[in-house]
Copies of this chain bind each other. A is one copy, B any other.
Amino acid sequence: MRQYRVAVVGATGAVGTKIVELLEDSPLQVSELRLLASKRSVGQRRAFRGQEIEVREAVPEQFEGVDIAFFSAGGSVSKVLVPEAVKRGAVVIDNTSAFRMEEEVPLVVPEVNMADTYQHKGIIANPNCSTIQMVTALKPLYDRYGIEKIIVSTYQAVSGAGQQAINELHEQSAQVLKGEVVEPRVLPVKSLARHHQIAFNAIPQIDVFQDNGFTMEEMKMVRETQKIFHAPDLAVTATCVRVPVFNGHSESVYVELGADFTIEEVRQLLSQASGVVVVDEPENQAYPMAVMASGRKEVFVGRIRKDLYHPRGLNLWIVSDNLLKGAAWNAVQIAEQLFANHRSS
Alpha-carbon distance A112/B291, docked complex (angstroms): 39
When the two chains form the complex, which single residue of B177, B243, B284, B305 contacts A173, counting CB atoms closer than 8 Å?
B177
For A309, the chain B residues whose CB sits under 8 A away are: 149, 235-237
Stretch at the interface among A17-25, A58-66, A75-83, A310-318: A310-318
Do B285 and A205 touch across chains, with their CB atoms under 8 A apart? yes
A170 at interface (Cβ–Cβ under 8 A)? yes
Q: Are A241 and B237 CB-contacts (below 8 A) given A194-B285, A197-B291, A204-B302?
A: no
Q: Of A170, A201, A235, A306, which is in contact with the most chain B CB atoms at under 10 Å from its CB?
A: A201
A277 at interface (Cβ–Cβ under 8 A)? no
Smallest Cβ-Cβ distance to A193: which chain B residue = B285
Do A202 and B250 touch across chains, with their CB atoms under 8 A apart? yes
Q: Are A235 and B310 CB-contacts (below 8 A) given A243-B243, A304-B213?
A: yes
Do A291 and B204 touch across chains, with their CB atoms under 8 A apart? no
Do A244 and B245 touch across chains, with their CB atoms under 8 A apart? yes
**Shortest distance between the CB of A248 and any CB in chain B (Å):** 8
A214 at interface (Cβ–Cβ under 8 A)? yes
* 1/0 contact string of A160-197 vs chain B (CB within 8 Å): 00000000011001100100000000001000111011
Residues A116-138 near B (CB distance < 8 A):
none
When the two chains form the complex, which single residue of B202, B214, B254, B291 contacts A289, counting CB atoms closer than 8 Å?
B202
**Shortest distance between the CB of A10 and any CB in chain B (Å):** 25
Q: Are A213 and B282 CB-contacts (below 8 A) given A222-B308, A289-B201?
A: yes
**Shortest distance between the CB of A203 and any CB in chain B (Å):** 6
Q: Are A287 and B205 CB-contacts (below 8 A) given A222-B308, A310-B235?
A: yes
For A196, the chain B residues whose CB sits under 8 A away are: 285, 289
A283 at interface (Cβ–Cβ under 8 A)? yes
* 1/0 contact string of A22-41 vs chain B (CB within 8 Å): 00000000000000000000
For A287, the chain B residues whose CB sits under 8 A away are: 204-205
**Shortest distance between the CB of A327 and any CB in chain B (Å):** 19
* 1/0 contact string of A191-225 vs chain B (CB within 8 Å): 01110110011111100010011100000001000
For A200, the chain B residues whose CB sits under 8 A away are: 169, 173, 244-246, 290-291
Do A289 and B204 touch across chains, with their CB atoms under 8 A apart? yes
A153 at interface (Cβ–Cβ under 8 A)? yes
Smallest Cβ-Cβ distance to A304: which chain B residue = B213
Q: Of A214, A288, A306, A308, which is in contact with the most chain B CB atoms at under 10 Å from its CB?
A: A308
* 1/0 contact string of A4-18 vs chain B (CB within 8 Å): 000000000000000
Having A197-B291, A200-B244, A244-B244, one finds 6 other A-B pairs with CB under 8 Å, namely A202-B245, A204-B303, A204-B317, A205-B287, A213-B306, A235-B307
Nearest 3 pairs between A and B by C-beta?
A213-B305, A235-B309, A153-B153
